[in-house]
Structure 1
Amino acid sequence: MVWQFFATLGLTGLLEVGLVYMMTVQTHSNFGNILVRNVYTAPLVLYLIGGAIVVAGLVAATSYYMLRRQHNQLAKRLATISAGQYDAPILAKQAQASAVLGEDVAGMLEALRQKMIRLQREIERYSNTPVLVAGVTKEEILTQERHRLARELHDSVSQQLFAAMMMLSAVRSVMTAQDPDNAMLKQITTIEGVINEAQAEMRALLLHLRPTTLEGKTLKAGIIALLQELQTKIKIKITWELADVSLGAAIEDNLFRIVQELLSNTLRHAKAQSLEVYLKQIGNAVVLRVVDDGVGFEPENADTTGSYGLSNIRERAASLGGTAKVISFPNQGTSVEIRVPITKEVADD
């Protein structure tokens, strides 16, 4: 804007001087005398300089306003495309985009929008196509293996942990009755705490190994069943607000799997007292949000430490053409929001 101001200032000054010079030629007056002649209370040259500055300032301000307007409009449209809201009203205003951004830029934005829509459709088509291994789908193989691991862990490790806890409780009761001040009681309490944590890890792992598909249920019904089962196993306050959303089977299975992974993370790491789950449709997108009041963490360090497995959740969201946003602070809980766009074909179905 600075160079434009000075360029306009120079051109305006030259134009004013030229006009004054033409007047002096026509009136056969002295050019220098005209410039220094007082008009009202100041020489004419000061009025010429002031006028040039005002014109240059107006031109620079107008150019700056137009550029800012173009920048804001372009930023809004790019942010809308980045969020996956390809059918948003702001993107449908092609005439306005051409007027503000120019036909070339508006045309490129529209081409980008159409390309993103095509990519989203291809992702959904690929997600709904089963991958076969020796005549069996990959999901069926994974589900069978998860069932087998869950049964073995429940029948062996989980039962052994429960038996160890019962024996320790019996030993502690006997020792407390015989000698309440026994120093070994503190160590037994510590061991009980370790076993309790191991049992919590085992419950989280068994939850993680549940079937990866909804098995004929709707997404809402599957999540409610999962949360109700969780309430029977651990002491945690769970609230949910789930809307009936209709998506492709593969997309619903992936969202269900994301809920499983988030619940598993909450059980293993968050140490939360309450958990909230929301599922709703906002515009042309489905939003899934899981919030807990646990210990929280630093999101930038989560992937490097591997404690929350958020990279897997982000990959699943990206495979659906969506996004995953994580907000967390130490000792202030965690909020994970998954946003998946709905293409026109799915919405029509």
Structure 2
Amino acid sequence: MPKDQANEEITYLESLLSKSNLPQDLRMTIERMINRVKRVTQLSGFSQEYEHVRKFVEWVTQIPWGVYTKDNLDLENAKKVLDEGHYGLDSVKERILEYLSVMRLKQLKGEEIPRAPIFLFVGLQGIGKTTMAKSIAKALNRQFTRISVGALGSVTELRGVPKTEPDAEPGQIIKALINTKQMNPVILLDELDKASGAEGKRADIMAALLEILDPEQNYAFRDHYIDYPVDLSKVLFICTANTLGTISTALLDRLEVIRFYSYTDEEKIVIGRNYILPKVLKRAGLDPSQIEFSQDVWQIIVRPLGYDAGVRQLERNIESILRKAAKLIVTGKSQKIVITPENVRNFIQESGVI
């Protein structure tokens, strides 16, 4: 590497450092790393260490040190956001509003707002666990990000790979802070019960999660790549699971379990008509005036093949109907579609739903 180019690269690293808000002792450590590379490049014009230092500096300076958003603890706003995103689930919403009330009281008294509990949403697929977590983030005015625990192959994906390894990089927790650009996002740890099927790996992942989620430890979480204490105490962690059987007892002891129960057919009809249909209409490019659903057809759309706890299949059914309707309108065969119990099978038969 020519000396001029090497000097440009060193200047680049120094500019990253100067623009960041790193803790002072970490800043001094990185300054020493950059100075060491600078001395070597001045002598030989090249340092094998440069690439490792550059990669480390780029990662560390992207962490939003000291950046926090102010929570919106307005209960009326929170209730509005939760109701807009979900029909029913009243017991779940009530529990969440209770916790927000405690935080609001502390805020009004000028006292330190207590750490939010770590929620574990438990229930079958498709009943709103993930969307409820998103709604909580929206209500609080925090950024949201999701980590799929079920997709983790090893604990290093959570805790990072040390700098000495060839594929060194931070773990998913640090990346979540970088992606949200704040130190107090809502992080969803999805499918906690589906952590690696191998007993040893699952035990390692559960142990790492214990440190990440435990309020007595997570104020100084140490990612193996960053190798510096990172404060996770202001992060709102929400976990989801279908069952509790594979989650360690020690971890469960630190979680606030909130159960999501299956929707009734009556609730699904309201959800389909008032929540899913407007959203899918927009995706399909149709105006509400171009399609009409008779009241008695919803029972068939909701339960075409028997009982289903969630609403994902319901959304697929509505999508199938609207695609068929869009084709009829575009080809000029009809200007307005009316879906009735008599013709509904013609609209979703091709998808194999009925």
TM bin, normalised by shorter chain, reads under 0.3
TM-score, normalised to structure 2, is 0.22
Which has the larger helix fraction? Answer: 1
Higher RCO, 1 vs 2 (CA within 8 Å, ≥6 residues apart): 2
* Higher gyration radius (CA): 1
